[in-house]
């Protein structure tokens, strides 16, 4: 028999994955052009040419021993160039020792939480939030404490303060945010740091940063490393280089972190003992050669605008996201997000109910899908609005 804990998780499942599988089923029936699947943040853009060029170069001219074991923290040369880039961005001097290469941001987060948590320790999350944080915290004996945001999806510092107890070990921030796309300004990060530093014990800020390179309208993401002292970064190239299936990322402990020496050592140990051993060797070398590359962010901004127009022209409400790959649209009044998702599914339009992100009253749509899919969905949005007696704001 499997464990009761896992049995319960299997019964609950992932709403995102369920919608993704439903999308595949519907495409097999109706054809790909007639299904509008916005359920999963699976970037459809190919990686930048720098990534492909580096991969070809390394495969054709391998460095001796390139596929062997290295330090559990990863190649020093890879960690050094990452530290250099982060130093440039933040103005905080970072060394290679601060960095541990990981199997994506999920492994990074688990390494960090495994290093921090004792049983029943509490981790504050800012709702709405990426639902896998629940599993990551529970994996290591911790307890999730949810704190709602302000109306504009900004952290509510008063509520965060009220949620802190003697058992609070960390708070997870995610800017740009999944699912809302909100970007936390420097003033918010400074105020959060001041709040946490005034407490009688160390509270770590875990900054989940897979979307920091995906921002729109000329905005930039303030560097958490510059403004927060007891910081631990978890990063992935899944989105910024369109490499979600390759699973390559890292942790970075701020040199100002009060537990710096213990944390950097603990994360490397956790990286090994949780089963990763080390991040994929060839992808560490690819990253070295393509660290400053980016996917076509302008393309994503264009698609964001297209999808946002479809939603709002049909008569629905949504906040245009400043970053990430998602639009968090309001569900119609007096209608649950699950019921709205079901109403959309009648027209083969698939989105994820907001309750999956502890964001009831919303649904999430990923715009990292083809332009053809976004354009094709416009009529479906208008038909759904007609069914719900919602007045259009523009012509079809």
pLDDT at position 9 over 90: no
Gyration radius of the chain's alpha carbons: 21
The average pLDDT across 318-327 equals 97
User: Average pLDDT of 31-59?
Assistant: 92
CA separation for the pair 112, 233 (Å, rounded): 9
pTM score of the predicted model: 0.95
Which residue has 């629905």 as its token pair?
Answer: 316
Contact 375, 307 (CB under 8 A): no
Beta strands 168-173 and 204-208: pairing type? Answer: parallel
Confidence of residue 30 (pLDDT cuts 50, 70, 90): low
pLDDT number for residue 16: 64
**What's the whole-number mean pLDDT along residues 385-391?**
97
Q: Is the pLDDT of residue 153 over 80?
A: yes
Separation of alpha carbons 259 and 231, rounded Å: 10
| pLDDT tens column, 335-383 | 999 999 999 999 999 999 999 999 999 999 999 999 999 999 999 999 9
Q: Which two tokens stand for residue 82?
A: 């990452």
pLDDT for 381 equals 98
- Of the listed ranges 34-43, 128-137, 339-348, the one predicted with least confidence: 34-43
The pLDDT score that the predictor gives to residue 347 is: 95
Average pLDDT value for residue range 269-284: 96
pLDDT of residue 66: 87
């Amino acid at each position: 028999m499997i464990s009761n804990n896992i049995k319960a998780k299997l019964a609950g499942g992932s709403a995102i994955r369920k919608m993704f599988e439903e999308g595949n089923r519907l495409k097999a029936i109706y054809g790909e052009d007639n299904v509008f699947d916005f359920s999963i943040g699976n970037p459809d853009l190919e990686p930048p040419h720098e990534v492909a060029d580096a991969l070809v170069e390394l495969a054709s001219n391998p460095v001796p021993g390139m596929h062997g074991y290295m330090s559990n923290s990863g190649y020093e040369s890879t960690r050094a160039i990452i530290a250099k880039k982060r130093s440039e961005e933040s103005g905080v001097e970072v060394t290679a020792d601060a960095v541990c290469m990981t199997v994506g941001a999920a492994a990074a987060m688990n390494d960090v939480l495994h290093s921090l948590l004792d049983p029943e320790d509490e981790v504050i999350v800012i709702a709405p939030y990426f639902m896998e944080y629940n599993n990551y915290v529970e994996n290591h004996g911790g307890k999730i404490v949810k704190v709602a945001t302000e109306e504009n999806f900004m952290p509510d510092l008063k509520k965060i303060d009220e949620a802190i107890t003697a058992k609070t070990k960390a708070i997870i921030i995610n800017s740009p945010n999944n699912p809302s796309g909100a970007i936390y300004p420097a003033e918010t990060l400074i105020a959060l740091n001041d709040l946490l530093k005034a407490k009688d014990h160390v509270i770590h800020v875990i900054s989940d940063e897979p979307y920091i390179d995906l921002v729109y309208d000329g905005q930039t993401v303030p560097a958490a490393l510059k403004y927060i002292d007891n910081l631990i970064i978890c990063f992935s190239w899944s989105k910024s280089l369109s490499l979600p299936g390759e699973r390559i990322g890292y942790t970075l402990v701020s040199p100002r972190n009060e537990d710096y020496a213990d944390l950097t050592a603990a994360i490397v140990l956790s990286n090994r003992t949780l089963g990763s051993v080390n991040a994929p060797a060839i992808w560490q070398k690819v990253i070295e050669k393509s660290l400053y590359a980016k996917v076509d962010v302008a393309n994503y901004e264009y698609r964001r605008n297209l999808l946002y127009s479809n939603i709002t022209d049909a008569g629905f409400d949504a906040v245009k996201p400043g970053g990430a790959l998602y639009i968090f649209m309001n569900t119609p009044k007096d209608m649950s997000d699950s019921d709205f998702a079901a109403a959309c599914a009648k027209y083969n339009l698939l989105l994820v109910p907001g309750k999956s992100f502890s964001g009831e009253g919303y649904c999430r749509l990923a715009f990292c899908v083809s332009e053809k899919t976004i354009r094709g969905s416009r009529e479906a949005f208008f038909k759904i609005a007609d069914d719900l007696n919602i007045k259009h704001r523009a012509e079809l």
